[in-house]
Structure 1
Amino acid sequence: MSLPDLVLSIADNKQMLGLRYAEWATRAPSLEADIAAAAMGLDDLGHSRVLYGCLEPLGADPRGPERESDAGSLRNLAYFDQPWSEWSQFVAANAILDTAFTVMIEACVGGSVEVLQHRLRKMLMEERYHFLHGRSWLRSGIDKEPLERAWREAIEFFGPPDGETETLRRDGKLSMGPAQQRTRLEEQLEARAPRVDIDWRAWDPIRRRTARGAIDEHTFGMLRGLEEKKYAPTAAKG
């Protein structure tokens, strides 16, 4: 796993988070939450574009042609594989996973790679509202299952204690490794992560997850523009 691989993982996850937020733009418990879901969705979709744009300056773009046909080639966490059916899933993603991605971006900005320092710094300011929104809803109380799942997948996203994320920290390319990132996330949320037992032997270092699977067919089609093509008028034949 190289630094471009990590940046692509952040980008794919921000893209999927933005899409899942947007799906709740008319389904949230209040008008204010509807508006927040739409705004945060647009933010994260924009952030993903910035992150994708960092790949070439980093010297290697890991994206291959398989991304056009294989949903399993996308590097999103399992939490985003299926649309969320409950508001508590939204809140857990907003409070924990969104903040975890911000912590990883903070580690990139604090590292020695100039393109990441310059291009990602603004994201940290824009993510402040996401954090406050998620923390507020989290404090109101949500179901235990999505909360524990989000914590688990955040820890998987940070990576194993002595894995390549830690190597990037030792090389100075990241300012925090997995242990520091977990501590930072707990400090931000003012909460301790639940006890989770992760089999790191089953962890995929490219997709940063232990669970198999991929995003649903409809979402993948939308990402690839297939849904638009399906309904687009066909060109008249001469």
Structure 2
Amino acid sequence: MSDDHVYLSLAEGHDDSDARWAFGTGFEDPLYGVSTVVPEDVDRAGLAECCVSLGDDALVMAQRLAEWTTRAPELEEEVALANIGLDLLGQARLLYARCGQVDGTGRGEDAYAYFRDADDFRNVRLAELPNGDFAFSLARLLVLASWRLAHFERLAGSADPVLAAIAAKGVKELTYHRQYAAEWVVRLGDGTEESHRRMQAALDGVAPYLRELFAAHDAEAAVVAVLRQVTEAAGLALPDLPRAAAGSGRAGAHTEHLAPLLAELQSVARAHPEATW
């Protein structure tokens, strides 16, 4: 099965006319004309928790993708990964801004990104793991993009108009992220003996963290369907899923890898806390 066939099948049901290049087309303000008033029937605490959790997932993953700059196998892939990271960073900014509007603190996006410690972050643990080799990063991207896409498709119908608008914009971006990762998983899995070995090892390395994703948001059926389709096309074995989560980043229980990542991400802002750019 060719990469294009995998993508076309995965994208079925989406308006994907510009999804391949989502990071190059979405320059309109997704919140233009959207009311920022929180509807009376919306739980403000729950909305804030949702926004900060999804914002943390996006910020941490964006930082990991940024680490591929100057290190990716080819310049084209370096640009693609950087732009996927920018998409996620844009999602994080919108989600943090909304959180500050509804949680009663009035904080701006920088406060959430730069002035919280690791145990205050609520991202899933898979996002914070070191990049490993290219195969691991692409296996992780496939899983997280598929999981986040399923989540955003539901949130596009949210009772909160701002969250709904953020999710609707994110669906186009995440459709491209999933496509990009799926094509590379197939290419590596169906490539040389060495690329096949590394891709299988990458999937095996990602698998222990899947149960946490499904506990945080019930998208198991959607993610497993994507993984099964892509692994079959690549001649790879779909790993067994764990029965229980090894830990919960949503509860602030992170791996030892998050604190160093945040120290690098936050260093300039913390050294110059009053600076404006």
Normalization by structure 1: what TM-score?
Answer: 0.72
2:204 is matched with which residue?
148
Q: Cα RMSD between the aligned structures?
A: 3.2
1:7 is matched with which residue?
51
Question: Does residue 183 in structure 1 map to residue 221 in structure 2?
Answer: yes
Q: How many angstroms apart in 2 are the aligned matches of 1:121 and 1:42?
A: 17
Aligned AA (2:120): S
Distance 1:3 1:146, change over 3 A: farther
1:99 is matched with which residue?
146
Residue deviations 1:89-123, cap 9 Å, x none? Answer: 21112211122122222221133333221232111
Distance 1:75 1:50, change over 3 A: same
Residue deviations 1:153-172, cap 9 Å, x none? Answer: 34312317xxxx5xxxxxxx
Q: Where does 1:105-124 land on structure 2 (aligned, <5 Å)?
A: 105-124=152-171
Contact 2:58/2:92 (<8 A) preserved:
yes
Question: Does residue 128 in structure 1 map to residue 175 in structure 2?
Answer: yes
Contact 1:5/1:62 (<8 A) preserved:
no
Distance 1:82 1:155, change over 3 A: closer
Name whichever of 1-10 and 187-196 sits farther off.
187-196
- What stretches of structure 1 of length at least 5 have no aligned partner? 166-177, 233-238
Contact 2:117/2:259 (<8 A) preserved:
no
Q: Where does 1:30-49 land on structure 2 (aligned, <5 Å)?
A: 30-49=74-93
Q: Of 70, 76, 82, which residue of structure 2 is paired with 1:26?
A: 70
- What stretches of structure 2 of length at least 5 have no aligned partner? 1-44, 190-197, 232-237, 273-277
Aligned AA (1:127): L
Distance 1:2 1:212, change over 3 A: farther
1:90 is matched with which residue?
137
Q: How many angstroms apart in 1 are the aligned matches of 2:180 and 2:121?
A: 28
Tell me by how many angstroms 1:23 deviates: 0.9
Q: How many angstroms apart in 2 are the aligned matches of 1:111 and 1:195?
A: 33
Distance 1:21 1:35, change over 3 A: same
Q: How many residues align?
A: 208
Contact 2:185/2:199 (<8 A) preserved:
no
Instruction: Determine what percentage of the aligned residue pairs are the same residue.
Output: 23
Distance 1:228 1:204, change over 3 A: closer
Aligned AA (2:79): I
Aligned AA (1:88): A
